[in-house]
Amino acid sequence: MKRQINTLYYERSGISKKPDQLSKIVNQRAERLTVEDMIKSPFSFEFLGFKAKDVVYENDLEKALLDRLEDFLLEMGNGFCFEAKQKRILIGDEYFFIDLVFYHRVLKCHVLVELKVDEAKHEHIGQLKTYVNYYKKEIMQEDDNPPVGLLLVTNQNRALVEYAIADSDQQLFVSKYLLELPSEEELIAEIEREKNVLREQGVVYGMEE
């Protein structure tokens, strides 16, 4: 939308002798939303009223998010449609429960969310990978895109995540969430940490660098 505004698409469409052809060209050139675009980190759940020092259990966190579903969906971003909580699936002769299931109407795929009240662990990622594989085989429709797995944790544990999903052909993401907004000092420190990580990955900030 920003690109179309900046390129005066509305004005050009009004004076064009072939508006349909112009629309076709614009749509072909439009940037498409990707899965990476819709997943952010960190998510902020300060609207729940919890404090970072509070002892919060997974069931309490899930209930609080669903009680404030409108705020939760706004924080998740555009396109998320809530579908189920504690979605029961049968694998072999054992039942499993997926914390939250969304359908993304823009990307046309299911998004499976697992909530954890601690840092990312390899068993969390393995669990989520299993759920994504199940949905891909048993639930995904012909006109759906492959399901996405999102693990929400208090600490991403980047090194572990990098190795845990390195050989996966599934779309798995691990994002951090905050129960309260950080102070100015904490925010600056977090930004510096993120910059250092990206710098190590080859991303350069500013002309002076």
Closest to 128 (Cα-Cα) out of 106, 103, 143, 111: 111
Same domain, 27 and 86: no
Closest to 42 (Cα-Cα) out of 121, 144, 153: 153
Report the pLDDT value the prediction gives residue 4, as an integer from 0 to 100.
Answer: 44
Confirm if 76 and 103 have CB atoms less than 8 A apart. no
Same domain, 122 and 208: no
Same domain, 153 and 73: yes
Domain total for the chain?
A: 3
Q: What is the pLDDT along the chain (209 residues), one digit of tens a residue?
A: 444 444 444 444 544 555 565 455 545 544 566 878 778 878 999 999 887 777 789 999 999 999 999 999 999 998 999 999 999 999 999 999 999 999 999 999 999 999 999 999 999 999 999 999 999 999 999 999 999 999 999 988 888 888 888 777 778 999 999 888 766 776 677 677 767 766 765 654 443 34
Same domain, 113 and 131: yes
Same domain, 67 and 124: yes
Report the pLDDT value the prediction gives residue 39, as an integer from 0 to 100.
Answer: 84
Same domain, 25 and 40: no
Q: Say which CATH number the domain at 92 has.
A: 3.40.1350.10
104 contacts: CB under 8 Å, gap ≥ 6: 38, 79, 80, 81, 110, 111, 148
Same domain, 19 and 51: no
Same domain, 104 and 122: yes
Report the pLDDT value the prediction gives residue 166, as an integer from 0 to 100.
Answer: 78
Same domain, 95 and 10: no
Strands 109-115 and 94-104: antiparallel
The CA angle 166-171-177, to the nearest 5 degrees, is 95
Q: How far apart are alpha carbons 156 and 120 in whole angstroms?
A: 5
Report the pLDDT value the prediction gives residue 208, as an integer from 0 to 100.
Answer: 39
Same domain, 56 and 121: yes
| The token pair that represents 155 in the structure block | 């600490």
Same domain, 149 and 69: yes
Same domain, 37 and 3: no
Q: Show the domain range for 193.
A: 184-209
